[in-house]
Amino acid sequence: MEEHWGTGALGLAPTRFLSALTTGFAIIALLLASVGLYGVMAHSVSRRERELGIRMALGARWATVMMSVLGQGLGLTGIGTALGLLGAFGLARLAASAVPDMQLDLATFVAVPAILLSIVLVACYIPARRATRVDPMETLRHE
């Protein structure tokens, strides 16, 4: 029995290659987004060190300061994730209308934002923790 190029394992090779390539690009994009978010949050915290130090000197708890920084990062990410999900859902619906047997994978639409949220929490936690370690007395001496 002779196997043709269009069937069997050889016929799936281009599809598997494109799938692996797309997965690789998605992982790189996720890493770049998390490093970028960490950089933005670290810069924001460094610019707000005086403000956070004064707040702590006036009696703000470390949890309040941490929630302030985490809230800022999660707010930015929430807006971006919502817009990304709307765009992805719209494009997936468009692709599903063009390809008759294509179905939307709702598990992907749930899993990807959950993974992104966990990465964002880690990327925001590090600068938030640094913000809680601002010495209020040192900040007041510089004012």
Residue 77 lies inside a defined structural domain of this protein: yes
Predicted pLDDT at 21: 94
Residue carrying the six token digits 């915290």: 45
Residue 123 lies inside a defined structural domain of this protein: yes
Amino acid at the residue 38: Y
Predicted pLDDT at 69: 84
Query: Does this model's pTM top 0.75?
Result: no
Residue 120 lies inside a defined structural domain of this protein: yes
Predicted pLDDT at 6: 53
Residue 81 lies inside a defined structural domain of this protein: yes
Report mean pLDDT in 10-residue bins for the chain, 143 residues: 55 84 91 86 85 84 87 86 91 85 84 86 86 78 69
Residue 16 lies inside a defined structural domain of this protein: no
Under 8 Å between Cβ of 134 and 49: yes
Residue 116 belongs to what domain range? 36-142
Residue 100 lies inside a defined structural domain of this protein: yes
Residue 44 lies inside a defined structural domain of this protein: yes
Residue 23 lies inside a defined structural domain of this protein: no
Structurally, how many domains does the chain consist of? 1
Nearest residue to 82 (alpha-carbon basis) of 116, 34, 32: 116
Dist CA 142 CA 133 (whole Å): 16
Dist CA 62 CA 15 (whole Å): 51
